[in-house]
Amino acid sequence: DQQVKQNSPSLSVQEGRISILNCDYTNSMFDYFLWYKKYPAEGPTFLISISSIKDKNEDGRFTVFLNKSAKHLSLHIVPSQPGDSAVYFCAASYGNNRLAFGKGNQVVVIP
């Protein structure tokens, strides 16, 4: 049973606009959430994380929002750039550093 779900497998967005990726989780014990970015033929690279004691974390163009009551988090990329075209994975853990990953979202940024 998948504990981390990413719907809408693909997203196309114009350069300069906002990209919003959504992630839902089922395990209320999760207390640490991460987003990874993956280019073809490369390993995933860490983007941004958030602890369950926060509801927002920003790092440059990337912001992650966490809504614990809804078991939902989202990643906002503003402004989107062509180099952001990649697959984005949402991941969650509960104190043991074991990550449960979603299936990923393909983002295409159109110049």
Q: What gap in Å lies between CA 17 and CA 44, rounded to an integer? A: 24
Site string for another protein, 89-108 (x = CB under 8 A): x-x---xxxxxxxxxx----
Using CB under 8 A, which of 21, 23, 34, 86 touches another protein? 34
Nearest-approach distance from CB 98 to another protein, in angstroms = 6
Using CB under 8 A, which of 13, 21, 44, 107 touches another protein? 44
Q: Residue 85 or residue 105: which is nearer to another protein going by CB?
A: 105
- DSSP for 9-77, please give it: -EEEEETTS-EEEEEEE--TT--EEEEEEE-TTS--EEEEEEETT-SEEEETTEEEEEETTTTEEEEEE
Q: Which two tokens stand for residue 36?
A: 């990874």
Using CB under 8 A, which of 15, 46, 56, 78 touches another protein? 46
Q: Does 70 bind another protein (CB under 8 A)?
A: no
